[in-house]
Structure 1
């Protein structure tokens, strides 16, 4: 195979869980050119990915900027698909492991003749995967199963990965130097989530931070989702973050505002451990192989737990994180050894 296209139209965490498939395809076909078609929201996940020839980024109309028109968004998308049709793909993988008619539509617009994907009950998918064809229990394992459609090689599943540049790491280190006095260990606290059941009270986060900084060589960085990150009308969590900082009153605790996924990744990269809720931030931390304590809410742990690094799951029978005590969180933090 010379040209292979992978399509993943979902969000940040879904694309992180697709990075092993991208790497696996390149291992199976070292000389092939691997292309990726994604939506704009998740583009930072695969920036600098060495296994990709090119990333095609389309924008959903609901994500258009204030100065853009819907017609303009559709025109840009047309230009992308005209480019894709010129490549002549040997295979197109619809990487979502559940049936997705929209991904199939994108594959057809790209001129695909050999489409691999979850069974939609249509002969337009040439290699359909039914439930029994997916291996393992995790989203990474399910997505990686598609590799078997184009290769008989037994290639172990790579870790989830993102790739920071030295410049990004250097800029983050400089920010840390400005924010905190010299410390031996840094812990990340990310307070945002789009799901109410995964939201933990600010005052409890403050108790955890105050316990962490009883160690004189420990520092804490507070992260949150800025306005519009979780949803177009989302106001963000800056006020909660500021409230949390005010509750701590310690020079070794600082806010770490981020305007992009890349800035969040570089900030997480500074840290030895992460406390967060299930979501894109959890998968990004896993892609950096960070040890984590995670509020999972009512999420299926077998399907969506962090794929890399040590992790401890916080989950109650109610599925509501409000039922998780400070002591339970503290015990889990001690278990990951941060």
Structure 2
């Protein structure tokens, strides 16, 4: 069986698809699985033992525009796939699935290009995103498929050196991810700084800051027990940091899903404009979501937005630092070192 998975959305969407990869492998143990994703998506999937090939779809470079899409489609057609699975609901991905020429193309029944699929999978909005993805393949429905990431030797050694050089070994580690692509998904920086100041009074912990280049412009407070790695790590290094962390504090963003790969890491996720019911809450059972449940205006969108539509931003402003501090301290005090 020659299987292709197409997912060219955000990093978190790619991470959430790793249980699907494993289920496809279980369904076709002798099969060949190829994955088409963005260059950044390819970087988080590296070393996955269930994938024979990862093909980068560079929408802004080599494969830009319709000509680039056609060129990639032609390349994929030569591979003679028996099955194409396309969880991405945007038209471009549906077109790419069709261009493969495969006779069996699966996509969601609410995808923009659903008419290009030979089989439509019901998009059950009441399920977690992982459960939705798993519905593409029949198999062991009683098995709980987990998110799995595979930092390689290079990533492990890189983070090991940081842990050694910064005397992190033996300390309780709270990793903090203050960023998000969307403003209404961001807990205020001043709230993060308040929390960092409170945690900075403890001698038994180290706070590690993670994020991409966009987060370099956040005015995050540093104390004697903080290690700022914002803009300095790749995604598999972030995964290795999450593996070594006791707690990951994050907005509703990709670190939720990256940290969900490690069952021993406790996730504290802050949800503002979005809600758990959209299906993108932590898949890890070792997690909790902090949110303002009393607001009728939530959610105001699937991905959040550039500003609060109501102008009050209560979904985040009402989640005070002391509320989050209480949750983190309770968990820290349960950890024995």
TM interval, shorter chain, is 0.7 to 0.9
Tell me by how many angstroms 1:283 deviates.
1.1
Q: Whole-Å Cα distance in 2 between the matches of residues 177 and 52 of structure 1?
A: 33
1:186–1:219 contact (8 Å) kept in structure 2: yes
Paired residue for 2:242, among 260, 268, 276?
A: 268
2:173–2:244 contact (8 Å) kept in structure 1: yes
Tell me by how many angstroms 1:287 deviates.
2.1
Which position in structure 1 is the counterpart of 2:309? Answer: none
2:108–2:114 contact (8 Å) kept in structure 1: no
* 1:1-20 Cα deviation digits (max 9, x unpaired): x1011111211111111111
Question: RMSD across aligned C-alpha pairs, in angstroms?
Answer: 2.5
Which position in structure 2 is the counterpart of 1:219? Answer: 206
Which position in structure 1 is the counterpart of 2:25? Answer: 26
- Relative to structure 1, the CA distance from residue 304 to residue 225 in structure 2 (aligned partners, 3 Å threshold; closer, same or farther) is same
Tell me by how many angstroms 1:164 deviates.
0.9
Q: Whole-Å Cα distance in 2 between the matches of residues 35 and 263 of structure 1?
A: 24
Secondary structure in structure 2 of the residue aligned to 1:60: coil
Query: Is 1:253 aligned to residue 253 of structure 2?
Result: no
In structure 2, list runs of 5 or more residues that go unmatched: 299-314
* 1:95-125 Cα deviation digits (max 9, x unpaired): 23xx443222001112221111112586542
Q: Whole-Å Cα distance in 2 between the matches of residues 322 and 136 of structure 1?
A: 28
1:286–1:307 contact (8 Å) kept in structure 2: yes
1:144–1:157 contact (8 Å) kept in structure 2: no
2:8–2:57 contact (8 Å) kept in structure 1: no
TM-score normalized by the length of structure 2: 0.83
Query: Is 1:238 aligned to residue 230 of structure 2?
Result: no
Q: Whole-Å Cα distance in 1 between the matches of residues 291 and 275 of structure 2?
A: 10
Q: Whole-Å Cα distance in 1 between the matches of residues 64 and 116 of structure 2?
A: 29
Q: Whole-Å Cα distance in 1 between the matches of residues 186 and 32 of structure 2?
A: 42
Secondary structure in structure 1 of the residue aligned to 2:207: strand
2:188–2:317 contact (8 Å) kept in structure 1: yes
Which position in structure 1 is the counterpart of 2:273? Answer: 298
